Amino acid sequence: MKRGIERRSTVPLETNLNLECGGWIVCQIGAREHFSIARALYRVGVPVTLVTDYWHDAPFAWPFSPRLSQRRHAEVPRTAVRAFNARCLLNELVSKLQGANGWGRILARNRWFGQLAAQAVRRAARCNSPPSIVFSYSYAAEEIFESAKRFGSRTILGQIDPGPAETRIVAELHEKAGLPFLDEPPPAYWRQWRRECELADIVMVNSNWSAQGLLNEGIPEGKIRVVPLVYATDCPAPARDLLIPESFGTNRPLRVLFLGQVIARKGILELCEAARKLAGKPIEWTIVGHGDHRLLDQLRGLAQVRVVGPVSRDTAAEYYRQSDVFLLPTHSDGYAITQLEAASFGLPIIASRHCGDVVRDGVDGLLLNEVTGASIAAAIMTYVTSPKVLARHAQARRETPLSTLDELGWRLARLGNSLCEPSSEKLEWTGNN
């Protein structure tokens, strides 16, 4: 990673800001990151309108679609939300009846949302004044940004992953393992993405790993800003009691948790190899999530491995509470918010270097220099043979505060301020500010 995009600001976070430079429009499909961008801006007083595909207005959960019932947040007032509920439900129904699936369905949904969100941007510009900043997550932003540019608004692309580099990594993993790679995006997907990057004044990524992926694809370094994710929920994780034994054995094994998509990209093949190497050791592996049925079958066939499947957010919290260490051997992730979830429960983390920077190696967890079965097994055995190291890492994790939504809000406000009035913004931009 080039260190040039990691220079630090020379001024405090809250100073030299002109919050009156204009409002933001934040466009997103689904409840990505629990609507953190809109929430963070709202918290620090930046005028913001959230444009999303569906916002749950009913005071009760829908039993036939519990995920849709989570498409809301109390911190974002309904008056600040523009949603397309009826059209969203109709669009999904039509797609299902037509048998659309895979990338065809993803592209169609992104295009459908991009058209409606672009209309919302145009309407806002004509009825009031053009928003200063239009933010949109990647892969649905092309038409949104074209409309924003027409009215003189500045644009920020929220890049959710390392882009084409990640697809190549996954293709190589499947080829090496002899697994068919059936999930490669079509060329149109990447053509549209490159157009989004051209239209964006800033491409905002969550990690240095993603930044490097974009640099390798020719995205100008001057456009890239690294703004890490934050973890903020309605119910903060309670502090965990540090009940780590003096030694691990049959009656009290080391409890290792993997929670996420069970796919090759997440390092599941290597996790399986590590579990085989450590068969008979005092280790209990718990796998929470859904994904590739072939990999799930491999996991189910391993001793000391419990495959749970997908669970609700509330149930996931119980697995975090019951575990000793969180494992994330990912080959590539834009960030992996599960790291922050685990950290909020005081769990030490074993992670690769191919995601967001959460783990301080040897302080509150362990970083894998390479994603292999051997490296995972060695890291796990560090804790099996040295419970005191595990306890020390858990204590350090508990004592380290996570970044807050307010901090994210000020970072975003500074980012917007630099676009609105670049001559007055005396900042040395950094990937971490």
Q: What is the pLDDT of residue 179?
A: 86
Same domain flag for 321 and 294: yes
- The H helix count followed by the E strand count for the chain is 15, 13
Burial 295-314 (b: 16+ CB within 10 A, else e): bbebbeebeebebbeeeeee
Same domain flag for 408 and 355: no
As a whole number of angstroms, the distance between CA 2 and CA 157 comes to 21
**Residue entry with tokens 């690294």:** 226
Tell me whether residue 235 is in a domain: no
Instruction: Identify the CATH number of the domain in which residue 135 sits.
Output: 3.40.50.2000
DSSP category for residue 254: E
Total structural domains in the chain? 2
CB-facing half-sphere around the CA of 44: CA atoms within 13 A: 27
What does the DSSP assignment read for 15-38? SS--TTS--EEEEESTTGGGGHHH
Same domain flag for 366 and 413: no
Tell me whether residue 276 is in a domain: yes
Q: What is the pLDDT of residue 232?
A: 72
Q: What is the pLDDT of residue 237?
A: 58
Tell me whether residue 207 is in a domain: yes
DSSP category for residue 74: T
Same domain flag for 147 and 183: yes
As a whole number of angstroms, the distance between CA 223 and CA 229 comes to 19
Q: Are 356 and 207 within 8 A, CB to CB?
A: yes
Same domain flag for 214 and 269: no
Same domain flag for 170 and 315: no
Same domain flag for 278 and 380: yes
What pairs with residue 368 in β-bridges? 352
Tell me whether residue 245 is in a domain: no
CB-facing half-sphere around the CA of 180: CA atoms within 13 A: 3
Tell me whether residue 246 is in a domain: no
Same domain flag for 319 and 414: no
> Going by C-beta distance under 8 Å and a sequence separation of 6 or more, which residues neighbour residue 349?
325, 326, 327, 328, 339, 342, 343, 358, 359, 364, 365, 366, 397
Range of the domain at 262: 254-399
Same domain flag for 56 and 198: yes
Same domain flag for 390 and 420: no
Tell me whether residue 26 is in a domain: yes
Whole-prediction pTM value? 0.88
> Going by C-beta distance under 8 Å and a sequence separation of 6 or more, which residues neighbour residue 19?
44, 45, 46, 413, 417
What is the arrangement of strands in the sheet containing 325-328, beginning at the earlier edge strand? 305-309, 283-288, 254-259, 325-328, 349-352, 365-368
The pLDDT averaged over each successive group of 10 residues in the chain (433 residues) is 32 41 89 93 94 87 71 92 93 83 90 96 84 95 97 96 95 90 90 98 97 97 96 61 88 97 96 97 97 95 95 89 97 95 95 97 98 98 98 95 94 92 43 40
Same domain flag for 163 and 263: no
Tell me whether residue 247 is in a domain: no
Same domain flag for 220 and 261: no
Tell me whether residue 98 is in a domain: yes
| Burial label, 179 (beta-carbon count in 10 A; 0-12, 13-18, 19+) | middle
Q: What is the pLDDT of residue 371?
A: 98
